[in-house]
Amino acid sequence: GIEDGKLYMLLNQMVAPDYMHSLDLYIFDEEAEKFTQLWSRPIPFKLNTNIYTLPDGRLMLPGRIGELDKFPNTPALMTAEKIDSEWKLEYIAPDGNLPDGTKYVYPELSAILDGDDIWMFCRDDKRQVPLVYKGKAGGEWTLYAHDIPFIDSKIYSGTLSDGRNYLIGNIWHEKNEYRRAMLAIFFSEKGTMNFTEGYLLQDGYSEELGYGGIQWSYPCAWEEDGKLYVIYTGCVEDNDHRAAVLSILPLK
């Protein structure tokens, strides 16, 4: 998150993969060229996105919550007045269950702000379609399914400066042995949630990079100077050998 010309970084500490132990806040010291820790708090909230600014000026983080040192499986968000102040937890779902009583599986969230409304896109491993929550921070949430063909993997979403929204995630085709071999981005019409264009960022093995085909996943993005910078994970040899990949998309 960026605030008052300063760069902050929120980190999770874990005792095992996805078992949350604390939420830690760092600030970047430009003179020393390093991050310095401001605090570490026993908040078992798993991060998934950059910080969003709500219409009322509060800051918001989508994610999931659980018990300390346990697996977080309940969709939630946190809000704060300032990055380095107290973060308050709000549940999007009252527990770790979907309305039909089945359990969430890795309910990673990302958001699109639409005026006062918030659209939360939620990974759903069981049904392999994106779930979408619509609501307001501090209010009620309505659950939908979405017809964009994302599978059981992280979804990253955001809004461009020209008013278009975007979604990034994995889609699948039967030609691929591995389910995360294709990474796609979808764009909406300006000022709407009507997604009309889609493009492949990666499709199996990359001739340009000389590796890939197992998975391209866990995307995030940042807009700057008319371009969208999308960074994600690529498997170099197998699932245990991974690299960070950057794709630069000219938004015109």
Q: Residue 68 has what pLDDT?
A: 96
Q: Residue 100 has what pLDDT?
A: 84
- Average pLDDT by stretches of 10, the chain with 252 residues: 95 96 97 97 94 95 95 95 96 87 89 94 84 92 90 93 96 89 96 94 93 92 97 88 94 90
Structure tokens at 169: 């995630």
State which H helix or E strand residue 202 sits in.
strand 195-203
| End-to-end Cα, the chain, rounded Å | 26
Q: Residue 252 has what pLDDT?
A: 86
